[in-house]
Copies of this chain bind each other. A is one copy, B any other.
Amino acid sequence: MAATTPSTCRVVLAANIAAPFIEEVKEYTKDKNAPLFVGFLANDDPWARQYAEQTGKTATDAGFTFELRVVDKEDLEEKIMEANVDESVTAMMVYWPVFGTQQDKYLQQCVAREKDVEGLSHVYVQNMYHNIRFLDAAQTQKSILPCTPLGVVKILEYLGVYNNVLTYGNRLYGKTITVVNRSEVVGRPLAALLANDGATVYSVDITGTQKFTRGAGIKKKKHEVEDVDLKLEDVAPKSDVIITGVPGAAYKFPTELVKEGAVCVNFSTEKNFDPSVKERAAIYVPATGKVTIAMLLRNLVRLYQNQQLVKGLKA
């Protein structure tokens, strides 16, 4: 019976969601001298190269100069340090993984925060967790958000999961969201961002489930986290939104746990949902990479603006 049910699911492609952001960036760059965006590729991962090429093409189309620097992993730190002090470089990113170990965390922090388009510098990440939007007390320099979690937020806004009738900062109020995978780069920051906007978020990982909420009172600056004794089968069926980011081709989210009419978003480079998800979900976003790239460019504009402000203060 299920196989013949006409699918009413709307599949939304990342390219469509990304388009208006790219237009916005173009509007901004049109009067500028194409700021230089440097990408560092220090691995042989074909997916990383593809991502690099896609970033380059999108960045160039949007009015930036993109330079892919292919370097040996042992030289990467030095090359980052050079770009940090090179005034011709506005922004940079690294295509991860490099070593695939904790050393990559070290390298992330070597990127000057003023040029960190990925938003992985500690101060940016900490500001995100604490819902702090500016770098300075005068609130002139915007803090940068990590590009992938930010992209997922923008996708949920596009899909109407954020409710504009509610106050800004509370537009996910009443929503239950399951995020599968609690990595430090995407899963955990994403859960925090969504909780900061009012959602009840279940973050499910092989190490267990955590519940992220904004806590009592609308004025709280930071989400609250508690360990909960719940499994995926307890939390997924009551979730309005299911977001997956599991690396590895073997993983498939169990379709039978998707609530009828749910919104399903996969930010893994692997297909975490089986095609059968379309028989239950109302909206399905199979990949988010192009939105992530749009967010890189959006961050780039902010970095550029922050740099101009700092230059202005010095002048």
> Chain B's nearest CB lies how many Å from the CB of A92?
17
Find the B residue at minimum CB distance from A189: B106
Residues 212 to 260 of chain A near chain B (Cβ within 8 Å): 222, 224-226
> Are A106 and B225 CB-contacts (below 8 A) given A101-B207, A122-B122, A207-B101?
no
* Interface residues as binary, A117-146 with B (CB distance below 8 Å gives 1, 0 otherwise): 000001001100100000000000000000
Find the B residue at minimum CB distance from A123: B109
Contact call B184/A101, Cβ cutoff below 8 A: yes
> Chain B's nearest CB lies how many Å from the CB of A285?
26
Pick from B74, B184, B222: contact of A103, CB under 8 Å: B184
> Chain B's nearest CB lies how many Å from the CB of A106?
6
Q: Using Cβ atoms and an 8 Å threshold, which residues of chain B touch A222? A: 78
Q: Is there a chain B Cβ closer than 8 Å to A26's Cβ?
A: no
Q: Using Cβ atoms and an 8 Å threshold, which residues of chain B touch A207? A: 101
Q: Is there a chain B Cβ closer than 8 Å to A302's Cβ?
A: no
Q: How many copies does the complex hold?
A: 2
Q: Which of A110, A122, A125, A183 has most B Cβ within 10 Å?
A: A122
Q: Using Cβ atoms and an 8 Å threshold, which residues of chain B touch A77? A: 129
Q: How far is the CA of A183 from the CA of B129 in the complex (A)?
A: 27
Q: How far is the CA of A243 from the CA of B267 in the complex (A)?
A: 42
Q: Using Cβ atoms and an 8 Å threshold, which residues of chain B touch A74? A: 224-226
Q: Using Cβ atoms and an 8 Å threshold, which residues of chain B touch A109? A: 109, 122, 126
Q: Using Cβ atoms and an 8 Å threshold, which residues of chain B touch A122? A: 106, 109-110, 122
Q: Is there a chain B Cβ closer than 8 Å to A188's Cβ?
A: yes
Q: Using Cβ atoms and an 8 Å threshold, which residues of chain B touch A50? A: none
* Interface residues as binary, A76-108 with B (CB distance below 8 Å gives 1, 0 otherwise): 011000000000000000000000011101100
A-side binding surface: helix, strand, loop or mixed?
Answer: helix
Q: Using Cβ atoms and an 8 Å threshold, which residues of chain B touch A126? A: 106, 109-110
Pick from B184, B225, B226: contact of A105, CB under 8 Å: B184
Q: Using Cβ atoms and an 8 Å threshold, which residues of chain B touch A183? A: 102
Contact call B125/A184, Cβ cutoff below 8 A: no
Q: How far is the CA of A183 from the CA of B106 in the complex (A)?
A: 12
Residues 175 to 229 of chain A near chain B (Cβ within 8 Å): 183-185, 188, 207, 222, 224-226
Q: How far is the CA of A184 from the CA of B106 in the complex (A)?
A: 8
Q: Using Cβ atoms and an 8 Å threshold, which residues of chain B touch A101? A: 184, 207
Q: How far is the CA of A226 from the CA of B72 in the complex (A)?
A: 11
Using A74-B226, A109-B109, A109-B126 as known contacts, list a sample of 16 further A-B pairs with CB atoms less than 8 Å apart, ordered by residue number in A: A74-B224, A74-B225, A78-B222, A101-B184, A102-B102, A102-B105, A102-B183, A102-B184, A103-B188, A105-B105, A106-B125, A106-B184, A109-B122, A110-B122, A110-B126, A122-B122
5 shortest interchain CB distances as A-B pairs: A102-B184, A109-B122, A105-B105, A74-B225, A103-B184
